[in-house]
Amino acid sequence: MIRRDSAGGSGAGGQDAGGQDAGGRDAGGQDAGGRDAGGQDAGGRIRRAWQAVRSGEVDLSCELGSVRLANPVMTASGTAGHGDELEAYVPLGALGAVVVKSLSSEPWPGNPAPRVHQTASGMLNSVGLQGPGIEAWIHNELPALVATGARLVVSIWGRRINDYSAAAAMIDGLTGVTAIEVNVSCPNVEDRSRMFAHSASATGEVVAAVQERTGLPLWVKLSPNVADICEIAGAALGAGAEAVTLVNTVFGMAIDLDRRRPLLGGTGGGLSGPAIHPVAVRAVYDVRAALPDVVIIGVGGVSCGEDAVELLMAGANAVQVGTATFRDPRAPLRVLEGLERWCARSGVRKVAELTGAAQVDTGVVPVQAHRGVDRSAR
């Protein structure tokens, strides 16, 4: 088992500025992150080539609470595998961070097939959080992930509060883990399988329980399928989260006409991809307006640099790329390149300046002022 050495701290703090800038295609036109013909790992060479051609005009670094990343583009949980699968296409160390597919303390089989279905402008999935369990992941996947040099964020999930506590305790102390993303879009078997993410109090309880078991920074990933996402975000922050990740998939369903039954094995599914990009932009905008100091990671339908810019302007501090990766495994890197190009073209010297740039002052009192969200506990 890999345990964090004493110098590793809680994962907070700056990244080595030398090796962590955006990756890209190498000068010879080889696919980013690919292994060259001689079998030699091309990641370092591509990173160096990218640095040589980068304008250097744009400061891409971002601060997410106590975590400082070299750039604001990450993978989204569940769309980049459990391990280093994507390293064959993208030098993962070039991204801001890699968010691992949600893991539980025990192995979990997930939902029956079919699990994914293409829709007009996105996809439906009902994977059902299949996973090997944290102990097996630590042995089989973590070493290769750490070897990529990527900043790692481990997503955890559970079906009861104790599951989350157990998962957090297993992650705490691992070498190379920067933060925990708490996925609360999960049925709470102790509350009639109502999603934790649909209840402010259940979300707060999960975060408080996780915080007792780890000193790692906590990001809480919220569901868009709620009436007031600002209230849930306030509860997560009040219980000790450093950031909220907005948003998980939107409830959806497809019907198999021949069978006259729901098409997905899990019956309902989660919609993702371009179809939900405006939903994500709205959620980010509303939470930024309601909670001006919050750290937000925006996710939903990002497939190019401009999509990322839109989420940043709505109020995000960083973004994640999910479904786009199924179409093009290099999508996270393309988004990063596109973001930097857009900034350079638009005279933006520091990407952090974009956060909330589109916010309009409506004179509405921010939520925490009248809901009394206690952020002193952070």
Ligand X SMILES: Cc1cc2nc3c(=O)[nH]c(=O)nc-3n(C[C@H](O)[C@H](O)[C@H](O)COP(=O)(O)O)c2cc1C
229 touches ligand X by CB under 6 A: no
The answer to whether 248 contacts ligand X (rule: CB under 6 A) is yes
Looking at residue 278, its amino acid is P
Subset of 286-325 contacting ligand X (CB under 6 A): 299-302, 321-323
> What are the backbone angles phi and psi of residue 354, rounded to the nearest 5°?
-75, -20
Q: Tell me how far apart the 2 most distant CA atoms of the chain are, in Å.
A: 63
- Kindly report whether the peptide bond that precedes residue 247 is cis, defined as omega within 30 degrees of 0: yes
What torsion, rounded to 10 degrees, do the Cα atoms 193, 248, 325, 27 define? Answer: -140
**96 lines the binding site for ligand X (CB under 6 A):** no
Give yes or no for residue 79 binding ligand X (CB under 6 A): yes
* Cβ burial, residue 173 (10 Å; 0-12/13-18/19+): middle
Is 126 among the residues that bind ligand X (CB under 6 A)? no
Query: Total residues at the site for ligand X (CB under 6 A)?
Result: 25
Q: 129 vs 168, which CB is nearer to ligand X?
A: 129
- Exactly one of 71, 102, 148, 355 binds ligand X (CB under 6 A); that residue is 102
Q: Who's near 201: CB < 8 A, 6+ residues apart?
A: 235
Q: 186 catalytic, yes or no? A: yes
CB count within 10 Å of CB 236 equals: 29
- Which of 46, 127, 200, 290 binds ligand X (CB under 6 A)? It is 127
> Is position 184 an interface residue for ligand X (rule: CB under 6 A)?
no
Binding residues among 35-64 for ligand X as defined by CB under 6 A:
none
Which member of 33, 266, 273, 305 binds ligand X (CB under 6 A)? 273
Contact criterion met (CB below 8 Å) for 246 and 287: yes
- Tell whether residue 276 is a contact of ligand X (CB under 6 A): yes
Alpha-helical runs (H) found in 172-255: 200-213, 229-238
Q: For the segment 144-173, give every residue that binds ligand X (CB under 6 A).
A: 155
Annotated catalytic residue within 62, 186, 230, 343: 186
Output the CA angle 322-324-326, nearest 5 degrees: 90
| Residue with smaller CB distance to ligand X, 249 or 368 | 249
Which amino acids are annotated catalytic? 186
- Chain residues in the site for ligand X (CB under 6 A): 76-79, 101-102, 123, 125, 127, 129, 155, 183, 221, 248-249, 272-273, 276, 299-302, 321-323
